[in-house]
A and B are shown apart, each in its own frame.
Chain A
């Protein structure tokens, strides 16, 4: 190992400028690879299928992707700190059921109850991870089961589906359109802008990156590690709950079977978007590209029509594997 590194060290130290350039190119690919592939797929799709580039179809992709995107935004923060949140799928479903249940007390309750409960789930998880120092994987796995259990108890083992009345303000919020696009799309974009500012321009964002890069060093530098981690999990839970509530508003009902396996799709989207699972690097713009990429792949495979949709999962899986391999290679190359 040491001889190998010593051997590769030689040319690297000779040409620091080349290293810097290579470093920048690799960094660029890592950050914007998903966007590039997304643009490519959109171009190929538009040329191959006349029914693909219609405003209706693209609008469908946008609204369908906006719900996992909100969840993925929270997940991006969590993963950059080096953590993981497996509870989001269940919390998403719980948020929807709570919204449909609480809307009887008014629109505000229909939004605030899911936000409060899901935020509280995030808070408990964050406390266990940051203060008790339990592994995020296990804590949020427990959260996945607990949130699903809570959902089942509210909905009588899933037998009762609560409805959000037609024409109610909450339903209009989820179903309304603005310039041909569903309203949740605009909200998602706004949340991503806020997320980007939070991550890139604030001390909190710096702390998130620092913790993911080297937690001990960050603590020595005076970063409030525990507090930052707790906020990140509260953020993830709240966003999952908000997404679930808006999705329920769109469907006019608190569907109980949603969200199973969603956490994996969301993690996949975040990773494809260039965020390192090991933490310390990533961006919210990459995440939005990752979510859209998965949505476009699904749409394109449906366009082919007769192709068995099992292939869709094969393609998504293969794509994820390729992205992770490339990322691992790039980050290793940068660190040499």
Chain B
């Protein structure tokens, strides 16, 4: 019977910390938007196709090389890109699910890439392996779809991308893209900004996440319109807020310190605008001190127009369900489809915000 020798304490603390962080990050990502009911149904303020929309309808089932099938009985896959943790994604997924139910599409399978591109790729590959006859994809990134497109074209599976584009050939790699004209959104935001500032002042831009066409086009549309219409407005600060509220707040806090003379903020989505509002409140600013113009049209943002913190919001309608399934049905019935379907978006400012809050998502 010996006294156990002294054992050097093992670095258990480190391992415990890592486990805790891992577990927190792996498991704890299911936050949800609780402060508002979300109206994501298909009927409410559904999307309207802008006319004229894109090019002339030219893509048909026979040109694409597919065969006719009945969407009601087939497996149809929907791949969502980001966690349903912001109103846009919540409304988008709900709209797809609600419309599928209404149309009697029983074989709808929904996956979520959790903002991880590798996962979204494997999600879609799995939908294909599960025998999906058609795919609706909300791509996280515009590039990098090679493996999916190869598998889908080999099986002639029609792909409709919604809200963001895939960099590939329409009617060959995928059928069509349904979404807003993001360049136009940026341009309209610029027009609102010019009104807010009376044509002169310093503006900061909260950019969206990189690597997709939404950020690029919303930025270009805004900058080009400002350069053309209001040379008195200078863009003195731009940094990415990754389309996220916390990041938008963080970047705005830094901006208030480094560029105190900025008189207006263009946020490329509502979540970042709401983060900016929090940052401005924290810095002791009053509603309207810094004009904010943003894009999306979420209920929270429209409410902030009523309370005076946000000047105007250009809508980006996420209710893709009806249009996506209409387009799919037309396509499998042999009707020609345009290479892109552009939807018309509304605008919210102090004149209509109060009446429109109810129909925002």
Besides A158-B240, A175-B146, A313-B114, 18 other A-B contacts (C-beta < 8 A): A6-B1, A51-B131, A57-B130, A157-B210, A161-B211, A175-B150, A253-B143, A255-B141, A256-B211, A260-B115, A261-B25, A264-B22, A268-B26, A302-B127, A306-B110, A313-B30, A317-B22, A320-B26
Closest to B212 in A: A257
Q: Given contacts A13-B1, A257-B210, are A309 and B146 in contact (CB under 8 A)?
A: no
Interface string of A317-336 (1 = CB under 8 A from B): 11011001000000000000
Q: CA of A228 to CA of B328 in the docked complex: distance in angstroms?
A: 59
User: Quick check: A278 and B15 within 8 Å, CB to CB?
Assistant: yes
Is A210 an interface residue, CB under 8 A from the partner?
A: no
Q: CA of A253 to CA of B144 in the docked complex: distance in angstroms?
A: 5
User: Quick check: A2 and B3 within 8 Å, CB to CB?
Assistant: yes
Is A316 an interface residue, CB under 8 A from the partner?
A: yes
Stretch at the interface among B4-12, B46-54, B249-257, B332-340: B4-12
Is A132 an interface residue, CB under 8 A from the partner?
A: no
User: Quick check: A251 and B143 within 8 Å, CB to CB?
Assistant: yes
Q: CA of A318 to CA of B215 in the docked complex: distance in angstroms?
A: 36
Could you say which residues of chain A place their CB within 8 Å of the CB of B21? 264
Stretch at the interface among B34-42, B117-125, B226-234, B315-323: B117-125
Q: Given contacts A56-B129, A60-B126, A255-B211, are A313 and B26 in contact (CB under 8 A)?
A: yes
User: Quick check: B122 and A260 within 8 Å, CB to CB?
Assistant: no
Closest to A259 in B: B118
Is B112 an interface residue, CB under 8 A from the partner?
A: yes
Is A239 an interface residue, CB under 8 A from the partner?
A: no
Q: Given contacts A161-B211, A264-B26, A317-B26, are A278 and B12 in contact (CB under 8 A)?
A: yes
Closest to B12 in A: A278
Closest to A163 in B: B143
Q: CA of A95 to CA of B168 in the docked complex: distance in angstroms?
A: 24
Could you say which residues of chain A place their CB within 8 Å of the CB of B12? 278
Could you say which residues of chain B place their CB within 8 Å of the CB of A318? 27
Is B352 an interface residue, CB under 8 A from the partner?
A: no
Is B147 an interface residue, CB under 8 A from the partner?
A: yes
Is A258 an interface residue, CB under 8 A from the partner?
A: yes
Rounded to whole Å, the gap between the CB of B280 and the closest CB of chain A is: 24
Closest to A54 in B: B129
Closest to B127 in A: A302
User: Quick check: A316 and B27 within 8 Å, CB to CB?
Assistant: yes
Binding site for B on A (CB under 8 A): 2, 5-6, 9-10, 13, 51, 54, 56-57, 60, 63-64, 67, 82, 84, 137, 155, 157-159, 161, 163, 171, 175, 214, 247, 250-253, 255-258, 260-262, 264-265, 267-268, 271, 277-278, 298-299, 302-303, 305-306, 308-310, 312-314, 316-318, 320-321, 324
Number of chain B interface residues as a range: 35 or more
User: Quick check: B114 and A309 within 8 Å, CB to CB?
Assistant: yes
Q: CA of A171 to CA of B147 in the docked complex: distance in angstroms?
A: 11
Is B325 an interface residue, CB under 8 A from the partner?
A: no
- Could you say which of A5, A255, A278, A312 contacts B4, with CB atoms under 8 Å apart? A5
User: Quick check: B18 and A267 within 8 Å, CB to CB?
Assistant: yes
- Could you say which of B1, B210, B240 contacts A9, with CB atoms under 8 Å apart? B1
From 72 to 126 in chain B, residues with beta carbon under 8 angstroms from any chain A beta carbon are 83, 109-112, 114-119, 121-123, 125-126
Q: CA of A261 to CA of B29 in the docked complex: distance in angstroms?
A: 12
User: Quick check: A57 and B126 within 8 Å, CB to CB?
Assistant: yes
User: Quick check: A310 and B23 within 8 Å, CB to CB?
Assistant: no
Rounded to whole Å, the gap between the CB of B73 and the closest CB of chain A is: 16
User: Quick check: B117 and A64 within 8 Å, CB to CB?
Assistant: no
User: Quick check: A316 and B3 within 8 Å, CB to CB?
Assistant: no
User: Quick check: B109 and A305 within 8 Å, CB to CB?
Assistant: yes
Could you say which residues of chain A place their CB within 8 Å of the CB of B131? 51
Rounded to whole Å, the gap between the CB of A180 and the closest CB of chain B is: 13
Q: CA of A2 to CA of B29 in the docked complex: distance in angstroms?
A: 43
Could you say which residues of chain A place their CB within 8 Å of the CB of B11? 82, 278
Closest to A84 in B: B18
User: Quick check: A257 and B211 within 8 Å, CB to CB?
Assistant: yes
Is B216 an interface residue, CB under 8 A from the partner?
A: yes
Rounded to whole Å, the gap between the CB of A250 and the closest CB of chain B is: 6
23 A-B pairs whose Cβ atoms sit less than 8 Å apart in the complex: A2-B4, A10-B1, A60-B126, A159-B216, A161-B141, A247-B118, A251-B121, A255-B117, A255-B211, A257-B117, A257-B210, A258-B118, A261-B25, A264-B26, A267-B18, A268-B26, A278-B11, A302-B109, A302-B123, A313-B29, A317-B26, A320-B22, A324-B19
Could you say which residues of chain B place their CB within 8 Å of the CB of A306? 109-110
Q: CA of A63 to CA of B128 in the docked complex: distance in angstroms?
A: 15
Is B341 an interface residue, CB under 8 A from the partner?
A: no
Could you say which residues of chain B place their CB within 8 Å of the CB of A302? 109, 111, 123, 126-127
Could you say which residues of chain A place their CB within 8 Å of the CB of B118? 64, 67, 247, 258, 262
Q: Given contacts A157-B240, A251-B143, A313-B30, are A256 and B210 in contact (CB under 8 A)?
A: yes
Q: Given contacts A257-B210, A313-B27, are A252 and B22 in contact (CB under 8 A)?
A: no
Rounded to whole Å, the gap between the CB of A146 and the closest CB of chain B is: 18
Q: CA of A23 to CA of B150 in the docked complex: distance in angstroms?
A: 51
User: Quick check: A252 and B146 within 8 Å, CB to CB?
Assistant: yes
Could you say which residues of chain A place their CB within 8 Å of the CB of B10? 278
Q: Given contacts A264-B26, A313-B114, are A175 and B210 in contact (CB under 8 A)?
A: no
